[in-house]
Amino acid sequence: MPSVPAVPDVAQDRQHALREDPQGPVHPVTPVTFRGAVLVLPDRVVPGGLSVADGRITAIRPDDDHPADPATRDLDALDLDGDFLLPGLVDLHTDNLERQVEPRANARWPSRAAMLAHDAQCAAAGVTTVLDALCLGELGFEESRARTFRDGLADGDALHGTGLLRAEHFLHLRCELPAAGLPELLAPLVHHPRLRMVSLMDHTPGHGQFADLARYRTMQRSDGLDEPAIDRRIAGLRDLRERLREPNRRAVLRHLGGTGIVVASHDDRTADEVAANHRAGIGVSEFPVAAEAARAAKSLGMTVIAGAPNVVRGGSHSGNVGARRADPRRPGRRARLRLRPRQPARRRLPHRGRRPGPARGGRAGDVAPGRHHRPSRSRPPRPRFARRPAPRPGA
């Protein structure tokens, strides 16, 4: 099948493009200039300022280009007083909506209110473009996910273009390959105007993320299952995988061929798995669980995605390889980072591993090449118990 794009360009129109927002993007009426910021640029972090007009960054001024004499400064510029200023983040895969819909077991929140809360948290964390990752396909023990998918899809469509959402929301479908009826569920969604990405998942015990059966059993016991129930679950999931995984995988790839939708593998463990995905035209390896898989994907020119909490915490929550250790290029660096549902990881990630360096020149437009990469302001994490300064006049 034809190769698919390696990374999603959410600002680029495709054959079945998103309908124009009747309200249009929200841009400042007059140009805005910021100074006294710490700029997060594509290749470095430097102190400086920038100007914005019509929703686009028009000029970037590191401090060595900014007049030091107050008489020559732009007195109308907004002084950020050392705050970080970075482009709006793009979250390629977030499960945060599920956490808002069901904040506790058996405690379901109204779906529209949950969507608005999810959107507000994304915006507060500096995420301006969101790929809401909704699970497609049910494996027999998480029936609530099917309802979350239906409600999330309907709410996103209903709220799009109303001006009630702070971020721009697209769809990322998480397709459970061993699920019965998966191709039939996907078929009517392939040309949905907000669909941008599909990931192929297989959470069968003994494979991928859950290759360690002892750890899987421990997780299930913590959810209240006894040993006979765990045995039945493992046997049932393995049976589904044996019967349905490969036919469903072929059907999904057939549906997506030629659409321009980005297709990602998920939880790759071996170089052979990565090679098979690459031959099928898959261009993204999402959350490889072993360093071997991450390096194999990079060697084949695939995009490798890791979770931001993995970087912030220094390891995987499920006991698999840490993002820094699996780095296919050099320690601490990955091709893409998925921001996961926990907003503190989103806020802390820009402050990991880099400090403001010597000021160097920047080019206008370097930071925001897309239509909707709105600037996001962020402070570095404050020490616990630190006193906050008094608000500045007009802040």
CA distance 358 to 270: 42
Write the DSSP string, 66-90. S--SGGGS-TTSEE-TT-EEEEPEE
Q: What is the DSSP letter of 188?
A: G
Q: Which residues contact 191 (CB under 8 A, 6 or more apart)?
A: 16, 259
Q: Which residues contact 304 (CB under 8 A, 6 or more apart)?
A: 284, 285, 288, 294, 297, 298, 328, 334, 335, 336
| pLDDT score of 301 more than 90 | yes
| Count of H-run helices and E-run strands, the chain | 10, 14
The string of pLDDT tens digits covering residues 144-163 is 888 899 999 999 999 998 99
Please compute the mean of the pLDDT values over residues 117-141 and round it to a whole number.
90
State how beta strands 284-286 and 262-266 pair. Answer: parallel
Query: Whose CA is closest to 93, among 242, 331, 266, 312?
Result: 266
- Mean pLDDT along residues 24-41: 76
Position 107 scores a pLDDT of: 87
Place of tokens 């280009």: 65
Q: At what angle do helices 143-159 and 111-124 cross, to 10 degrees?
A: 70
CA separation for the pair 107, 93 (Å, rounded)? 24
Contact 63, 47 (CB under 8 A): yes
pLDDT at 82 over 70: yes
Looking at residue 139, what is its pLDDT?
A: 81
**Residue with the larger pLDDT of the pair 332 and 247:** 247
Distance CA 277, CA 250 (A): 11
Average pLDDT value over all residues in the chain:
77
Contact 50, 77 (CB under 8 A): no
pLDDT of 366 > 80? The answer is no
Distance of alpha carbon 337 from alpha carbon 90, whole angstroms? 9
Q: What is the mean pLDDT of residues 66-78?
A: 60
% residues pLDDT > 70 (the chain)? 69
Mean pLDDT across 348-364: 41
Round to whole Å and give the CA distance between 198 and 265: 9
Beta-strand ranges (E) seen in the chain are: 32-40, 45-53, 56-62, 78-79, 84-87, 89-94, 127-136, 168-176, 195-201, 262-266, 284-286, 303-307, 336-338, 375-378
pLDDT above 70 for 74: no
- Is pLDDT of 380 > 90? no
In the numeric block, which tokens belong to residue 183?
């191709």
Per-residue pLDDT, 370? 33
Angle between helices 213-222 and 227-256 (to 10 degrees): 110
Residue 321 has a pLDDT of: 67
Is residue 196 over pLDDT 90?
yes
pLDDT in the model for residue 353: 46
Q: What is the pLDDT of residue 369?
A: 31
What tens digit of pLDDT does each residue of 5-24 get? 444 444 344 333 333 444 44
The span from the CA of 243 to the CA of 180, in Å, is 9
Q: Minimal CA–CA distance to 174: which of 249, 266, 241, 110?
A: 266
Residue of higher predicted confidence among 351 and 85: 85
In this prediction, residue 307 carries a pLDDT of 82
pLDDT at residue 239, as a whole number: 94
Domains defined for the chain, CATH in brackets:
32-86+352-378 (2.30.40), 88-350 (3.20.20)
Contacts of 104 (CB under 8 A, 6+ apart): none
The pair of structure tokens assigned to 322 is 């840490």
The average pLDDT across 102-110 equals 86
Higher-confidence residue of 117 and 379: namely 117
Q: Does 262 score more than 90 pLDDT? A: yes
Tens digit of each residue's pLDDT (9 = 90 or more) over 35-67:
899 999 888 899 999 988 887 888 898 874 455
Distance CA 260, CA 2 (A): 10
pLDDT for res 129? 94
pLDDT tens digit string along 314-334? 767 666 666 666 665 554 444
Q: Between 29 and 93, whose confidence is greater?
A: 93
